[in-house]
């Protein structure tokens, strides 16, 4: 599919996906969501891709949020469709066996922050600001923002930010654990690529199984999550990557993983 509002670039097992609507601060309208859905599905099916960096075009905005001009005219039924589509796309990102890194280069409000929260790891420019600001417009987060944010920073802090529609800077986002690294604007994408390279140096199946164990475990009680972890770890002992990794360690060389 040709994209009007996305740029998808491949660098071997790494992809950089850029939301490219800078004239509207990369806001999410129906067309952008449709394209994003297609891109996410293509990424999910690409067996060669292992890490995806998601960012926004231009110096000002990652994803400013949902397109308010479009949102203003939605009926309740239309909004249910729009919100359901956005939530489903983000859930697909979250649950696939790829690692998603958000490189938050500017404003990430509302649906923009919700999109970043669907990524596994978030790096941010020191000039960026983020927030779930929907209640200031008479609406509320609907891409599962009310569910993810409390899981990241605790329910009380999440309520404070959502109820006040606060816009916080990068330093505060890092302090509360919402993002994992703060960088100068020109260092943000290189830092995200450096992180990707570190992830890509490791065994593909081990990384994917670890992601699944973490995410599934957060939905389970501790004992069931622990049992799932043991199951996943045991399956890895049947893989070529396991044999290569341990053999390479004994032989004091770098392993060559095949994802098998």
Question: Are 125 and 58 in a shared domain?
Answer: yes
Question: Are 32 and 131 in a shared domain?
Answer: yes
CATH code where residue 52 lies: 3.90.226.10
Q: Which pTM value belongs to this model?
A: 0.95
Phi, psi of 138 (to 5 degrees): 80, 15
Secondary structure class of 240 (helix, strand, coil)? helix
Secondary structure class of 66 (helix, strand, coil)? strand
Question: Are 142 and 33 in a shared domain?
Answer: yes
Q: Count structural domains, the chain.
A: 2
Closest CA to 229 of 219, 216, 246: 216
Residue 73 resides in a domain: yes
Secondary structure class of 141 (helix, strand, coil)? coil
CB 130 within 8 Å of CB 83: no
Distances (CA, A) of 243 to 236, 249, 255, 258, 260: 10, 10, 10, 11, 10
Domain end residue (candidates: 200, 218, 236)? 200
Range of the domain at 214: 204-250
Calpha distance 22→60 (Å, rounded) = 8
Domain end residue (candidates: 161, 185, 200)? 200
Calpha distance 128→173 (Å, rounded) = 10
CB 101 within 8 Å of CB 54: yes
pLDDT per residue rounded down to tens, the chain (260 residues): 789 999 999 999 999 999 999 999 999 999 999 999 999 999 999 999 999 999 999 999 999 999 999 999 999 999 999 999 999 999 999 999 999 999 999 999 999 999 999 999 999 999 999 999 999 999 999 999 999 999 999 999 999 999 999 999 999 999 999 999 999 999 999 999 999 999 999 999 999 999 999 999 988 889 999 999 999 999 999 999 999 999 999 999 999 999 99
By annotation, the residues acting in catalysis are: 114, 134
Question: Are 91 and 142 in a shared domain?
Answer: yes
Residue 256 resides in a domain: no
């Amino acid at each position: 599919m040709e994209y009007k509002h996305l740029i998808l670039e491949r660098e071997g097992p790494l992809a950089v996906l850029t939301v490219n609507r800078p004239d509207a601060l990369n806001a999410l309208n129906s067309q952008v969501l449709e394209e994003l859905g297609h891109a996410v599905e293509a990424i999910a099916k690409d067996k060669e891709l292992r890490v995806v960096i998601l960012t926004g075009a231009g110096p000002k905005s990652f994803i400013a949020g949902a397109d308010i001009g479009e949102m203003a005219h939605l009926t309740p039924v239309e909004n249910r469709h729009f919100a359901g589509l956005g939530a489903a796309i983000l859930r697909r990102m979250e649950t696939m066996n790829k690692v998603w890194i958000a490189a938050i280069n500017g404003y990430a409000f509302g649906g923009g922050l919700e999109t970043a929260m669907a990524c596994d790891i978030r790096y941010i420019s020191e000039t960026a600001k983020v927030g779930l600001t929907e209640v200031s417009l008479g609406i509320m987060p609907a891409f599962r923002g009310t569910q993810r944010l409390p899981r990241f920073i605790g329910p009380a802090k999440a309520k404070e930010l959502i109820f006040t529609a606060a816009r916080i800077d990068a330093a505060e986002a890092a302090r509360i654990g919402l993002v994992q690294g703060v960088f100068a604007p020109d260092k943000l994408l290189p830092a995200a690529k450096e992180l990707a390279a570190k992830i890509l140096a490791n065994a593909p199946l081990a990384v994917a199984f670890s992601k699944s164990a973490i995410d599934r475990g957060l939905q389970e009680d501790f004992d069931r999550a622990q049992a799932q972890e043991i199951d996943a770890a045991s399956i890895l002992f049947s893989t070529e990557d396991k044999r290569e990794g341990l053999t390479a360690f004994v032989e004091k060389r770098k392993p060559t993983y095949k994802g098998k």
